[in-house]
Chains A and B, each alone.
Chain A
Amino acid sequence: MTPDIVITGAGVVSAIGCGKTDTLAALRAGRSGIAPIRYLDTPLKEYPVGEVPLSDAEIAALTGAPVQWPRTTLLAIPALQEALAQAGLRDGQDMMLISGTTVGGMDRTEKSFPQYSRDHSCGSSTDLAALFIGGFDDATTLSTACSSAANAVIFGANLLRSGRYKRVVVGGSESLSSYHLHGFHSLMILDREPCRPFDATRAGLNLGEGAAFLVLETADSAAERGAKPLARLSGFGNACDAFHQTASSADGEGAFLAMSKALQMAGLLPSDIDYVNAHGTGTPNNDASESAALRRIFGADLPPVSSTKAFTGHTTSASGSIEAVFCLLALQHGFLPPQLHFSTPDPSCIVPCHSGLSATPRHILSNAFGFGGNDTSLIFSVYE
């Protein structure tokens, strides 16, 4: 028997705000957080980014965490605290923490490389956050590139389905680093302008940073302790594109399979989906590939689609959970995040919803596609 899985708490930090209140205001106002680099120490200053507009010291001061800790950890802590507080939980007791990251503590290591790299596993940034919050049974780190946080949601859901846990905390955290900024630069997929997902003039992505966590629990567990669910996790799917290490296939096979699996698990038809939060990085390749997959799923009846990476930049390993929180806000407050920076349709791409819409979405599909062809789709539905 598969238990219903609900979300009882959510927390987020990104370029558009610290916490859900600021985030909601920015989403509704169409206010992007993409701007020139302010804090990251790097020679590549020509690239705009979705930087959390706080220094390490300022982020640390929000929670009292040690300022020497990696920025990835410093960003995770307020997001974790917000999620736990909303769920009415004091700490991590009786729960496991599953967090996705790639950068981990690299922002610190690159300042002293190579002296600390020997022992600096990226799992340590998760363990520090778990330690600060306290009480967790266990913590683990998933690292599947840009689908990490979304896969953390799946892993957490599987822990609930198997009866291993009644409640888990899932999500991801990623800070900017010169290391991966240089890397994306070497792949020539960064845009020197703010990104334009699905637009004919799109020229690449902007990197971003942030953290978001969800408290997932079985519906029974929530009812037992009187916690109010925000939404249901009604379906999910992970599949491999099996095409190339960093590019996506022309027909979006991996994306198509992931979305199909999620719909099947949720027992929904494509026509039941009211909004798609696309992966939509703004690269010529992803947006065309994802569009092909969306067209294969939805045919001529495409629901409103937008990529909120025009608000936050591509937050890589944290994007799956940050964008999940945006979807939860959309479900709760009855609106659809608009596509920013869109002006010219591209025949090889879908046309995103580019004016602010009020709506009452009931089912939202969220995509997160990672290097290695690791494609994940999540479906969130209203709780009633």
Chain B
Amino acid sequence: MDQLITELKLKVIDALNLEGMTPEDMDDNAPLFGDEGLGLDSIDVLELIVLLEKNYGIRLKTPAEGKEVFKSIAVMADYVAANRTK
């Protein structure tokens, strides 16, 4: 799971152009969205949806589903581990 979490962090940093950020800077349980988190927006949700499908074969149907799955890196990792087809 640790490996998946680090892998996810690297992919998120890359996909969302989070300049200058490293996996060490990212708290597993910190909210990704909203002001306390990384301040990600609606386009970022869509990019993460693409990330999930491209890398793990998971297809989310709506951005609303995305917001639940992408609550934090830890929540994302659990979801990927449970649902990945790749």
Separation of A187 and B43 alpha carbons in the complex (Å): 7
Q: Say whether B50 contacts A186, CB under 8 Å.
A: yes
A372 → chain B, closest Cβ, in Å?
13
User: Dominant SS at the B interface?
Assistant: helix
* Given A188-B62, A188-B63, also A244-B50 (CB < 8 A): no
CB–CB A246/B62 < 8 A: no
Is A343 part of the contact surface with B, judged by Cβ < 8 Å?
Answer: no
| Chain A residues with CB under 8 A of B41 | 244
Which of chain A's residues have a CB closer than 8 A to the CB of B43? 187, 245-246
Residue B29 CB within 8 A of the other chain: no
Q: Is the CB of A247 within 8 A of B42?
A: yes
Q: B42–A244 contact, CB under 8 A?
A: yes
Q: Of all chain A residues, which has the CB nearest B41?
A: A244
Closest to A187 in B: B46
A244–B45 alpha-carbon span in the complex (Å): 14
Q: Give the CA-CA distance A244 to B42 in the complex, in Å.
A: 10
Contact with A along B12-54 (1 / 0, CB 8 A): 0000000000000000000000000000011100100110000
A152-188 residues with Cβ-Cβ distance < 8 A to B are 186-188
Specify the chain A residue showing the minimal Cβ separation from B62.
Answer: A188
Residues of chain B at interface, number, CB under 8 A = 8
Binary contact track A219-248/B, C-beta < 8 Å → 1, others 0: 000000000000000000000000011110
A200 CB to nearest B CB, Å: 16
Bound: A246/B63 CA distance, A: 15
Q: How far is the CA of A245 from the CA of B41 in the complex (A)?
A: 11
In the complex formed, the residue of A with least CB distance to B50 is: A186
Q: How far does the alpha carbon of A222 sit from the alpha carbon of B32 in the complex, in Å?
A: 60
Residue interface bits A266-301, CB-to-B below 8 A is 1, else 0: 000000000000000000000000000000000000
A-B contacts, CB under 8 A, total: 14
Least CB separation from A245: chain B residue: B43
Give the distance to chain B from A92, nearest Cβ to Cβ, in Å.
41
Query: Whole-angstrom distance between the alpha carbons of A187 and B41 in the complex?
Result: 13
CA distance A246 to B62 in the complex (A): 17
Of B43, B49, B50, B62, most buried by chain A (CB within 10 Å of CB) is: B43
Q: Complex: how many Å from CA A186 to CA B47?
A: 9
Chain A neighbourhood of B46, CB < 8 A: 186-188
- Residues in B whose Cβ lies below 8 Å from that of A187: 43, 46
Q: Chain B: which residue is nearest A203 at the CB level? A: B62
Q: Tell me the minimal C-beta distance from B58 to chain A in angstroms.
A: 15
Residue of B nearest to A246 (CB): B43
Contacting residues, chain A, for B50 (C-beta < 8 A): 186
How far apart are the CA atoms of A290 and B25 in the complex, in Å? Answer: 40
Nearest CB of B to A181, in Å: 16
CB distance from B43 to the nearest CB of A (A): 7
Q: Nearest chain A CB to B50's CB is how many angstroms away? A: 7
Minimum CB distance partner of B61 in chain A: A188
B70 to chain A, nearest CB (A): 14
**What CA separation (Å) do A247 and B44 show in the bound complex?**
13
In the docked arrangement, what's the CA distance between A247 and B42, Å? 9
**Which A residues are CB-close (under 8 A) to B62?**
188
C-alpha gap A244/B41 in the complex (Å): 9
Complex CA–CA separation, A247 to B63 (angstroms): 13
Task: A187 to B50: give the CA distance in the assembly, Å.
Answer: 10
Query: In whole angstroms, how far apart are the Cα atoms of A245 and B46 in the complex?
Result: 14
Cβ of A246: which chain B residues have Cβ within 8 Å of it? 42-43
Minimal Cβ-Cβ distance residue in A for B47 = A186
CB distance from B51 to the nearest CB of A (A): 12
Query: In the complex the two chains form, what is the Cα distance from A281 to B42 in whole Å?
Result: 18
Beyond A244-B42, A245-B43, 12 extra complex contacts between A and B, CB < 8 Å: A186-B46, A186-B50, A187-B43, A187-B46, A188-B46, A188-B49, A188-B62, A188-B63, A244-B41, A246-B42, A246-B43, A247-B42
7 tightest A-B contacts by CB?
Answer: A188-B63, A247-B42, A188-B46, A187-B46, A186-B46, A188-B62, A246-B43
Q: Could you give 10 example pairs across A and B, Cβ below 8 Å?
A: A186-B46, A186-B50, A187-B43, A188-B46, A188-B62, A188-B63, A244-B42, A245-B43, A246-B42, A247-B42
